[in-house]
Structure formats: C-alpha cells, structure tokens
Amino acid sequence: MRNLALMTVAAASLLAAAAPAAAQDLAAGAAAVRDKALSDQTAWSVAESLTTEIGPRMVGSPAMDRAKDWAVETFKAHGFQNVKVETFTAQGWFRGAESAEVTGPYPHKLHILGLGRSSSTPKGGLTAEVALFRTYDDLLAQPEGALKGKIAVVTGAMARAQDGAGYGAVGAQRRSGAAEAAKRGAVGYLVRSLSTDDTRLPHTGGSLPGGIPAAALSTPDAELLENLVARGKPVTVKLDMTSRFDPKVPAYNISAEIPGTDPNAGVLIVGGHLDSWDPGTGAVDDAAGIAITLAAAKLAAAQGPLKRTIRVVMWGSEEQGGSSEAYLAAHKDEIGKMVVVGESDTGAGRIWQIRLPTGSLDHPAMRAFRGAIAPLKVIVSREAPRFGGADVAGLVSAGAPFVEFDQDASRYFDLHHSADDTLDKIDPAELSQNVAVWGAFLHAAANSDIEFRAGAAK
Amino acid sequence: MRNLALMTVAAASLLAAAAPAAAQDLAAGAAAVRDKALSDQTAWSVAESLTTEIGPRMVGSPAMDRAKDWAVETFKAHGFQNVKVETFTAQGWFRGAESAEVTGPYPHKLHILGLGRSSSTPKGGLTAEVALFRTYDDLLAQPEGALKGKIAVVTGAMARAQDGAGYGAVGAQRRSGAAEAAKRGAVGYLVRSLSTDDTRLPHTGGSLPGGIPAAALSTPDAELLENLVARGKPVTVKLDMTSRFDPKVPAYNISAEIPGTDPNAGVLIVGGHLDSWDPGTGAVDDAAGIAITLAAAKLAAAQGPLKRTIRVVMWGSEEQGGSSEAYLAAHKDEIGKMVVVGESDTGAGRIWQIRLPTGSLDHPAMRAFRGAIAPLKVIVSREAPRFGGADVAGLVSAGAPFVEFDQDASRYFDLHHSADDTLDKIDPAELSQNVAVWGAFLHAAANSDIEFRAGAAK
C-alpha cells in the first residue's frame, strides 16, 4: 500500500504539471480519495455491522424493520444529512418448512431451497415421478400435457466467468422454469441452482409463479438425480414445502445526503440494496454494495468540500422487486437534477472495468478519475454503460445518466442467494478497491461541472 | 497417459536388463498394473454405485443393511471369491431433529450438526449464555464450575496441510471438548467444525460423550459468534437437539478374496470402510477407499496369476468404532499368515508419499513397485510407517506388518463428515492414481516372497 501511494503521488504531480489548475485539483483530489480508501475501514465496519447485527432481511420481515432502523442510525453515525425513509408497498414471499427426498429406486434426502414465489405443496407433501431435462431447452421442447403429474427437473449447469455471463445464459431455468413446467402439466419443479460452486447448499432466487412448488437443488443433488435417472428406472421424489405470499408488505428506500456547496449543481445518486434473501446473512448480496457506496461517498466528501450533492440510497426490495419503481415514482420530478446514478450489486469482487456515459471520457474530471484508478488495474471501456443496476433501472429509463462499474464475478455466484453469503466471503482488500474506485469517481464528478447527458458532455 | 506409458515401459526395460529374471517379471508386472489402472473405470464405478444406490450409511441404520447386500453383490460382480460377512456388535448413535439459534442480542439461525454420541437437549430445547473460547486450551484453563449453566463454545480453526496435520492439531476440541466442558459445569457445547473450508456446512464426527448436547458449527457460524461476543454484550443461544443411542447394533465386516496359487504363501489384507457419517453420501469417506482397494486388487490379480492371496475388506464401523477390534478378534489366529495390511481412508486425493516396513525397500519386489510408481510423483520415505489406518490398528497391534500410503489431504478436510462429502468431489484422475499405486504394490508383493516382518526382510 505504501509503494502504491508513493507511485501515484508522483503520477499525480506529473499530470498536474501539464494541466490547468482545475484539472490539477481534480486529479489530486481523486488520487487522495483513492489512497485513503485503500486503508480505510468504513466499508468493512458497515458490512460487518449489517450482517452481524441484522443478518438476513427479506422484504416484509421483522428483520427488515430492524434493518431500516439500522440504516437510519448508520447514516447518522457516519455524518450524513437529510436522512429519509421512503415507505412503499412491495410483494413479500416467506419461506416455511421445506424438505425433499428421493423415495425410489434408492432413498436419498435432497438439499433444496424453495424459489421466491413458489407455491406450497398440499399438506403432507406430494410424491411424483421426475421428468429430468439436462437443458432448459429440452423442457421447453415438451408439448402441452407431456409433464402431467410429474415433477419436472432441469439440471443445466452455470459456467464460471469474470463478467458473470453464465448467470444470464441459464437464468431462465430458474426464473421461468416453474411456470413453463406447470403449463405442460407438471405438479412440481426442481432446478439446479444458478451456482458456480459444488457445495451442498442450494441457491434461491426470484421466479415467475407457476402455481406449483418450485425449488433449487444443490449442485451435488442435481448430479445425483442425473445419476439416478441414468439407471433407467423411474425415479420418484417427495416434496414437502410451505410458504406464504403477501401481496402487500411495507418496504423502505432509505437515503441520506452529503450536501454540496451549490444546491443547484445537481445530485449524484449511488447505493446498494438493503434487502436480501434469507439463507445467508446478505453479505455479498448486498451489504457489500451498501458498504462500498456509503464509504465512497463519505471519503469523497471528506476530501471536499464538493460542489454537488451526493446521495446514498439503500434500496429496500431488490430481490423481490419494487424498489426501482417506487424510487422512480417518488423522484421523477428530480430526474433533471440527477448528475449520474449507479448501483453496486455484485458483491465485493474487485472492479476490473468501468463504463462511462458516451462523450464523458475526456472531460478533465473523468481524466482525473481514470488517472486515479489506473494503478488499481481497472480497464476503461470505450463502450457505453449497458446496465446501472436493478434499483436504478427506473431512473435510467426516465433519462438519468448512469455508470457501470464491472466487478469480478468469478466467485460471486458461488455465494449469492445461498447460506454461504456470509461476511467471511468478503475480502477486505477487494472491498477497499471498490471503495477507491467509487470514491475517486464521486469526488471527480461532484467536484466538477461535468454533464453526463448524451450530447451534452463538456 | 500415452507418453507416460511409453516412458515407463522404457524404464522397465532398462531395469530388466540389469536384474535377474524374477526382478524383471516383477517390474514389468507392476508397471503393467499401473498402466491399466490409469485408464480403468472400476474404482469410479464402485464409488458411483455406493454413493448413488446406497448413500449415507451409519452403522446400525437400515442403509447399512442395504450397504451390506451391496458389498456382497459388488464383490461377486467383480469376480472375487470367498465372500464373507462377519457380523459383530457395535454402538450406534442416530441423529434426530437439530436446530440452534442466537436469541440475543441479535437473532440468527445457526448451522449446526450434532457430534456423534451427543446427548439430546431437554424437550423444547435449552437456552443459555455462551462462554466462547478461541482455543481449546482456553477452555481447559477454566476451573471447575466456571462454565456452570453456560453453553461452551470453542472456535479454534484448523489449518490446511497436504499431510492433514491440522486435523490432529485441533482434533481434541471436537473429540473431548463436550466432556471437558461438562466437567466445568457447561450445559451445552458448540465447536467450530474441524474443517478447512468456509462453507456454511458443519462437519460432524466422533466425540466422547459428556452427557450434554454437543454440536459442530459451520465455519461462518463460528466466526459470527466470535463477532457477536466481541461486542461485549451477553450472547444467548437456544439449542434444540434430539438423538438416540443404541449400545448394541449389528455391524458387518465384509471381505472377499482373490486366492493365490499357493495357499501357504500368506494373505495381503487391504480395504476401506463401508460405514459413513450421515450428512453426505460418504464418497471421500470412504467409498473412495473401498473403490481404490477393490479395483487395485482386481487389476493386480488380472495381471497374475499371483502366488499370494489378496483379501479386500469393507470394514463396517470405523466412524463410531468397533471394526478394528472385531476384525482382530475374528482373525487373531491368522496374524502369522498376514503378509501385510493397509487401509485407504483419506479420500481420493493423490498419493504423494509411501512408507514401507523397515528393511523392505531394497527387496526386488519393492524395487519393482518403486520403479513402477516413480512416474506417478510419489516420494518414497525411508521412515517406517506410523499408521496403517483405523481399521487395521488392531491387526497392527497384534504384529501384522503394515504400509502407509499418504494421500494429499489438502482438500479432504473441506469435505469429510459434512453434507459436502459427495461423488462429484472425487477427481477421477486422482482416484486412478491411487488405484495405480495400490495395484502396483499388491502385484509386486503378492507375486514375490517378500517378508515384511521386522528383522525378517529378505
């Protein structure tokens, strides 16, 4: 850390010699935020606190009410102002008791985790023969009625990739599989977890309700079912699952600000989501995102004073949906004031690439930002951002400029939505790298007059 | 594999040119067994069959009765003779429902797995404050009565090591911790799993009964308790555990032979254990050992005919104890006939070192064996074997010569005694390397007159 700091102070001095005063200030400021971030403990302490003092926090649960209070206290403790709790209504699904077992030809307990919006089984469970498909396309190729009375099983595997591309490639088998299986007559649905790990822990996640019980299998359980089915004898499974769905639960988008010196200079909006799935403690998904953006804003402002306001939002219903729409509805009149928006929601893996709005790369502020993060091994893409995060999608659709900071997702899908999403999986050094990138960005953008809107870059 | 085969055929030829005919035959035989083993599927098919068609098999359970029948059928299917089921009486402990949760200051569900011989909690569970110790020595330093009414927790971590040394270093905290905590007044005991992994899956294992409920915590849960206790407020935990202990359950040591051409030339005894803990499917512990030794014996004999008899044993109660004593009791009159004994019980990690009985290294048979396995990257220790395996400990204590083939245990303790002990964790190439080493050894030793007894090497 010491050598890096020396090197980058030298780099900043070189840059300063060739640039006008404002650019020099921007570069020095962004570099200073970066260096402080690399040894700062704020993000770790926020993530540790949320996962230890609250733990899992499903929208609509008592834990989410405690999380809301935690959010308010945490913002205040870190010196934020204008702390706001915006209440909205979301849909909440709650897991009850769940079990699954192979009843023939050889008995086995299966490790499952119900998918969000799964139905319950009839009381006492249901037992049926499985119809196993090694790809989701194989299931979709089944005609109507072909799965009548069966438990459909899809065992397509997710590939590991730095950019998380494997998740999208097989995502539909979790999101839409139950509904598609039900259309074809299935009475239950089991899907290999969208996971890159081989542990016996299943990964849950959102799904379109199909009116049938639907659950994720752990990787080894999916492979066990394949091996059982390969023997050519009928394989029967008993599912016993309970859950509760509430179409109206209270949810909260909680925000706080570090006001800029110029109230008319606009607001930068960044954050992560406060809600989580229930099996883990919601560490990489998404205590990390909250911790990174809160710490980045705090460190950027501490290097101020900054002209523009930075707002950090803890969105309250990303996993089961609703935060994005609620946030847009409450802030649509503010879109024109939004300098830029962005969300951190891929854990704490290091940022390996950034995408900035078209035309902004060569503004002195973004030059300063790029210079500051070059030692952090971050690629600067010349392509426009594609996705700013699920919780800012509403703002983006309404015209807010957005950034995309791509994190290394190689390990993220080992963990997310599973019991393994715990604090120990966050690497403090990688977490700090994220804070350094976000912090340098916020400082440079909030300390300048950069305009990220298409065609208006200056 | 092709290049390896060519190279070692050449090596065998060189050796043959300088050695008498018998040595030449020994070298060629051992090398041929090795080469066949490296592409043979027997071991994989045995491990796949046991884990898929039987799954977990605790001594005294219905699954163990099915496993016994599987063993007899499997031996016969692979051409073994003299299949014997030797029934003995063991002690059986059976898990019931188990749950644990932190009730204050912040609620959390804990992932636990009762230790073998744990007591049940009172009906409805028990709630108590925890007394947490970061090392087992810290617990042992407590005076009598110091833990009165508390749930004692020990969170010492196990280090990863190729030779598995970390297991021994902290093993006592699982094996004796409950008894020591109970002596000091504790009403319950929780111990960080003897695990090198960071998953949310706890690892069970044998323990001395302390008359109190005792369970393993997953690694993240142990760290969560540390973080909770570090806040300085009392931490309370509710434990609710049921189990059943039966001091007399039927158990089986099942063996089969490939008879040698000379009934008076002695018998080589190798094997693994058939029983397993309950959370996984007993793949690395110890379907692998059964698969390796069965396949090695079959391949060695197929390269025969061999002078000496090879016997493969599937011991029936290693985890909860009893196989070794029972096997000794049934075979003590045979000790003098035993050429050598050995057990494979560290999963399917590759063998990185062998230890042979003192004085035997330079016998032509062991020269042939060493030559055959040199390309498999196996170190030949000049030190005597220390441990032949838990199930041959009785035979060894009665004077049977034994070998020790050390496997890479770097990953074994991520898996063993946990739900993660499943077939997919066995690497087929590493499994084959084990078969090659055991097969080359069995062929060389059974095809020669080597005498492994101390002082009698020739």
**DSSP 3-state assignment of A423?**
helix
**DSSP 3-state assignment of B403?**
coil
Please tell me the distance in Å from B106's CA to the nearest CA on chain A: 6
The candidate with the shortest Cα–Cα distance to B251, out of B91, B69, B74, is: B91
Contact in structure between B175 and B207 (CB atoms under 8 Å)? yes
Of B53, B55, B106, the CB nearest to A52: B106
Contact in structure between B207 and B116 (CB atoms under 8 Å)? yes
Cα nearest neighbour of A45 on chain B: B227
The candidate with the shortest Cα–Cα distance to A422, out of B194, B132, B224, B106, is: B224
Query: For the segment B55-93, what is each residue's pLDDT rounded down to a tens digit?
Result: 999 999 999 999 999 999 999 999 999 999 999 999 999
Interface of B with A in 110-139 (CB under 8 A): 111
Q: Is the pLDDT of residue A7 over 50?
A: no
Within 10 angstroms of residue B137's Cβ, the number of other Cβ atoms is 12
User: Which amino acid, residue A306?
Assistant: L
Spatial separation of the C-alpha atoms in residues B373 and B353, rounded to whole Å: 10
Burial of A39 (0-12, 13-18, 19+ CB in 10 A): exposed
**CB spacing of B106 vs A55 below 8 angstroms:** yes
Spatial separation of the C-alpha atoms in residues B151 and B174, rounded to whole Å: 15
**DSSP 3-state assignment of B132?**
strand
CA angle B320, B275, B170 (to 5 degrees): 50
Q: Is the pLDDT of residue B306 over 50?
A: yes
**CB spacing of B419 vs A200 below 8 angstroms:** yes
Take residue A368 and report the two structure tokens written for it.
């300063």
The candidate with the shortest Cα–Cα distance to A277, out of A203, A385, A175, is: A203
Q: Is the pLDDT of residue A418 over 80?
A: yes
CB pairs A-B closer than 8 Å: 80
pLDDT, residue B455, reads 57
Average pLDDT over residues A427-438: 98
Cα nearest neighbour of A280 on chain B: B200
Query: For the segment A265-301, what is each residue's pLDDT rounded down to a tens digit?
Result: 999 999 999 999 999 999 999 999 999 999 999 999 9
Cα nearest neighbour of B280 on chain A: A200
**CB spacing of B422 vs A106 below 8 angstroms:** no
Spatial separation of the C-alpha atoms in residues A81 and B274, rounded to whole Å: 64
- Residue B19: pLDDT band (50, 70, 90) is very low
- Residue A150: pLDDT band (50, 70, 90) is very high
- Residue A455: pLDDT band (50, 70, 90) is low
**Helix ranges (DSSP H) in A242-392:** 288-302, 323-331, 364-373
Of B48, B52, B227, the CB nearest to A52: B227
Please tell me the distance in Å from A51's CA to the nearest CA on chain B: 9
pLDDT, residue B23, reads 87
B195–chain A Cβ distance below 8 A for any pair: no
Q: Which residue has the tokens 């617990």?
A: B139
Give, rounded to a whole angstrom, the gap between the first and last alpha carbons of chain B.
Answer: 34
**Mean pLDDT over each residue of chain B, to the nearest integer:** 94
Q: Is the pLDDT of residue B104 over 80?
A: yes
Burial of A134 (0-12, 13-18, 19+ CB in 10 A): middle
- B151-154 and B126-133 as β-strands: parallel, antiparallel, unpaired? parallel
Instruction: Give the number of C-alpha atoms closer than 13 A to the C-alpha of residue A14, restricted to the C-beta side.
Output: 8
Query: For the segment B318-370, what is each residue's pLDDT rounded down to a tens digit?
Result: 999 999 999 999 999 999 999 999 999 999 999 999 999 999 999 999 999 99
pLDDT, residue B13, reads 44
Query: For the segment A11-32, what is each residue's pLDDT rounded down to a tens digit?
Result: 444 444 444 448 899 999 999 9
Residues of chain B contacting residue A227, judged by C-beta atoms under 8 Å apart: 48, 52, 423
Residues of chain B contacting residue A107, judged by C-beta atoms under 8 Å apart: 55, 63
B225–chain A Cβ distance below 8 A for any pair: no
Residues of chain B contacting residue A223, judged by C-beta atoms under 8 Å apart: 422-424
Cα nearest neighbour of B199 on chain A: A420
Contact in structure between A349 and A410 (CB atoms under 8 Å)? yes
Cα nearest neighbour of B45 on chain A: A227
pLDDT, residue B386, reads 96
pLDDT, residue A457, reads 47
**What global pTM score does this model have?**
0.93
Of A48, A63, A111, the CB nearest to B419: A111
B54–chain A Cβ distance below 8 A for any pair: yes
Kindly report whether the peptide bond that precedes residue B107 is cis, defined as omega within 30 degrees of 0. Answer: no
Of B53, B223, B424, the CB nearest to A198: B424
Q: Is the pLDDT of residue B5 over 50?
A: no
β-strand partners of A192: A217
CA angle A176, A177, A179 (to 5 degrees): 70
The candidate with the shortest Cα–Cα distance to A416, out of A204, A215, A169, is: A204
**DSSP 3-state assignment of A193?**
coil
Please tell me the distance in Å from A421's CA to the nearest CA on chain B: 9
Residues of chain A contacting residue B223, judged by C-beta atoms under 8 Å apart: 422-424
Within 10 angstroms of residue B376's Cβ, the number of other Cβ atoms is 20
Query: For the segment A372-399, what is each residue's pLDDT rounded down to a tens digit?
Result: 999 999 999 999 999 999 999 999 999 9
Take residue A195 and report the two structure tokens written for it.
């996971």
A383–chain B Cβ distance below 8 A for any pair: no
pLDDT, residue A83, reads 98
Contact in structure between B294 and B73 (CB atoms under 8 Å)? no
A108–chain B Cβ distance below 8 A for any pair: yes
Q: Is the pLDDT of residue B239 over 80?
A: yes
**Mean pLDDT over each residue of chain A, to the nearest integer:** 94
Element (H, E) at A263: none
Q: Which of B46, B52, B113 to mutate to test the interface with A (most CBs of A within 10 A)?
A: B52
**CB spacing of B420 vs A200 below 8 angstroms:** yes
Q: Is the pLDDT of residue A68 over 50?
A: yes
**CB spacing of A423 vs B224 below 8 angstroms:** yes
Give me the interface pTM, i.e. the ipTM: 0.92
Spatial separation of the C-alpha atoms in residues A214 and A192, rounded to whole Å: 11
**CB spacing of B220 vs A424 below 8 angstroms:** yes
Q: At residue A81, what are phi and psi to the nearest 5 degrees?
A: -115, 175
Q: Which of A196, A204, A424 to mutate to test the interface with B (most CBs of B within 10 A)?
A: A424
Take residue B110 and report the two structure tokens written for it.
């804990």
Cα nearest neighbour of B50 on chain A: A106
pLDDT, residue A304, reads 84
DSSP label at B120?
Answer: P
Of A63, A223, A422, the CB nearest to B200: A422
Of B52, B111, B279, the CB nearest to A227: B52
**DSSP 3-state assignment of B352?**
strand
Please tell me the distance in Å from A297's CA to the nearest CA on chain B: 26
Average pLDDT over residues A202-215: 97
C-alpha separations of A80 from A72, A158, A278 in Å: 10, 41, 29
Residues of chain A contacting residue B219, judged by C-beta atoms under 8 Å apart: 424
Dump the DSSP string for B52-103: HHT----TTSHHHHHHHHHHHHHHHHTT-EEEEEEEEEEEEEEEEEEEEEEE
Contact in structure between B155 and B225 (CB atoms under 8 Å)? yes
Q: Which residue has the tokens 């993060």?
A: A373
Kindly report whether the peptide bond that precedes residue B137 is cis, defined as omega within 30 degrees of 0. Answer: no
**CB spacing of A424 vs B223 below 8 angstroms:** yes
Q: Any residues with CB less than 8 A from the CB of A353 and at least 6 apart, and which?
A: A378, A379, A380, A381, A405, A406
**CB spacing of A422 vs B224 below 8 angstroms:** yes
pLDDT, residue A456, reads 55
Burial of B419 (0-12, 13-18, 19+ CB in 10 A): buried
- A236-258 and A126-133 as β-strands: parallel, antiparallel, unpaired? antiparallel
pLDDT, residue B456, reads 55
Spatial separation of the C-alpha atoms in residues B47 and B64, rounded to whole Å: 16
